[in-house]
Amino acid sequence: EVQLVESGGGLVQPGGSLRLSCAASGFTFSSYWMTWVRQAPGKGLEWVANINQDGSGKYYVDSVKGRFTISRDNAKNSLYLQMNSLRAEDMAVYYCARDAGGGGWFDPWGQGTLVTVSS
Amino acid sequence: EIVMTQSPATLSVSPGERATLSCRASQSVSSYLAWYQQKPGQAPRLLIYGASTRATGIPARFSGSGSGTEFTLTISSLQSEDFAVYYCQHYNSWPLTFGPGTKVDIK
């Protein structure tokens, strides 16, 4: 069974940092692009970042460029999102998902981890 | 950036009825369009990709159509488990963007 489990969310002050992790199992992790998508409380979905199979290609939404870094460790079947200079508008549930289309559609999704940015 | 819009914002439908949801792109995305279903407190689930290809395990009552800038998700006969929010997403170019969603609720 394909499974994605996020961790690392929590409460952080504005300007602070947080590192999210996503543990993958049930598929050949190194063969797939991966993605982070977020959802602010009561709002819709927003794509955040994508990474290709070997980590050489990374893409970001403009609002996080220069602050967030997506990375992966194929030996550990893990995806990461390093988030720096966090703002109130970054508060959201962060989902990792397998990018089944290589910069395309997302399937499946993890259960999400909540990031709260507040003083 | 390609802006995705969805209509209506809320669709009230009786069980067993047909639901038709619309998604529009601000410029052509060819057939690079996916649909997702999200229930309260759950992660989104992929329904359709390539504008019309059902994902694995998705019932045949879900169908997608369209290309270019106009797309439709049709649920032929609504079941109780189909009441949820539906999002479209293009993957034609960076950045990838989602529509604001259509909530399908019980009439």
Nearest neighbour of B95 by CB, restricted to A47, A106, A107: A47
Nearest neighbour of B91 by CB, restricted to A37, A104, A109: A104
What pLDDT digit, counting tens, does each position of B22-74 carry? 999 999 999 999 999 999 999 999 999 999 999 999 999 999 999 999 999 99
**Hey, of B96, B97, B98, which one would you mutate to test binding to chain A, going by the most A CBs within 10 A of its CB?**
B96
Contact yes or no for A23/A12 (Cβ under 8 A): no
For every residue of A38-59, DSSP letters joined together read: EE-TTS-EEEEEEE-TTS--EE
The pLDDT confidence band at residue B102, using thresholds 50, 70 and 90, is very high
| Residue A9 in contact with partner chain B when CB distance is under 8 A | no
Q: Which range, of A83-92, A100-109, B18-27, B96-105, averages the lowest pLDDT? A: A100-109
For every residue of B15-84, DSSP letters joined together read: TTS-EEEEEEESS--TT-EEEEEE-TTS--EEEEETTTEEPTT--TTEEEEEETTEEEEEESS--GGG-S
The pLDDT confidence band at residue B98, using thresholds 50, 70 and 90, is very high
pLDDT at A101 over 80: no
The pLDDT confidence band at residue A5, using thresholds 50, 70 and 90, is very high
Q: Which amino acid would we find at residue A101?
A: G
Query: Which chain A positions have a beta carbon within 8 Å of B94's beta carbon?
Result: 59, 103
Residue A110, token pair as written in the block = 């993890």
CB count within 10 Å of CB B56 equals 8
Of chain A, the percentage scoring pLDDT greater than 90 comes to: 96
Contact yes or no for B100/B8 (Cβ under 8 A): no
What pLDDT digit, counting tens, does each position of A105-116 carry? 999 999 999 999
Q: What is the pLDDT of residue B21?
A: 98
